[in-house]
Structure formats: structure tokens, C-alpha cells
Amino acid sequence: MKDGDELRLSVLRLLRAAIKNREVEKGRPLEDSEVIQVISSSCRQRREAIAQYRQGGREDLASKEKAELRILEEFLPPPLSEEELQAKIQEAIATRWAASIRDMGKVMAHLMPQISGRIDGKVASEKVKEVLAKGH
């Protein structure tokens, strides 16, 4: 507020409201991983809005959403490298004793809390499918 950055203030207020709403839904304060999920969800919404605005020829609105996305991304942990993701996938497969693609749900349930906010769930899902299809 003191810096007079209205956009940043607006984004942080919206984020704070989203976190508060999730706390009300859960009936308890959120854990750090749950807060990261809320931030990730807000980032995903911004990315979808950017794509829709660009499709509609509204570059002005897309650039505003992009600026908001950059602010939100500051509060996420650093993204996982390819090697870190592969290591976490192998660990999840070993922990859940996954043998085939049918065990993907168990692997993803174990993996997502560890990687939430650090990589897109779709990307992780595709990587897990690849590994399980190869017989890890």
C-alpha cells in the first residue's frame, strides 16, 4: 500500500480473500501446502483468462492478467526441474508399489501434495503415465 502499487494491492487482496474462503470451506486454518494450492489455482485461472482474452483480441486485458500472474507467481515455490520431477515420480511409484498404469491414481495422490505449485498437474500426470507405461 505504501508503494502505491494498486495492481499488486488488488491481487494480494483477492488472494487473501480466496485463502479466507478456502479456510471457511474447510472450517480450519489452511496448511502451507493448501495455501500453495490456492495460489496455483489463481495462477491457472489467470493463464486461462489470458488465453481467452487473446483469442478474443483483447490484448489489453490479457496484459493485465499477465501482470497479475507475475505477482502471484512470486508466492509460489521455484518450479521443479525435469530431474527433480523424475526423482519424485520414481519415489511415488516405489512408495505406492505401482506396477502398471492402473496404479496411476495412487501414484498421483502421493505425488501431488509434494509438487503442487511447482509444476502443472497435467505435465506431472503425463510424465507418470510415460513412466508407468514403460514399466518404470
- 3 state SS of 13: helix
Cell, residue 94? 516405489
Residue 126 domain flag: yes
- Domain assignment of residue 111, given as a range: 82-134
Asked, for residue 1, whether it belongs to a domain, the answer is no
CATH code, 12: 1.10.1510.10
CATH of residue 112's domain is 1.10.10.410
Residue 12 and residue 66 in one domain: yes
pLDDT of residue 1: 64
Q: What is the pLDDT of residue 135?
A: 74
State pTM to two decimals: 0.74
Task: Per residue of the chain (136 residues), give pLDDT as tens.
Answer: 677 789 999 999 999 999 999 999 999 999 988 899 899 899 999 999 999 999 999 999 999 999 999 999 999 989 899 999 999 999 999 999 988 889 999 999 999 888 887 888 889 999 999 999 887 6
Tell me which residue of 79, 83, 135, 129 sits closest to 108, measured CA to CA: 129
The answer as to whether 115 is a domain residue is yes
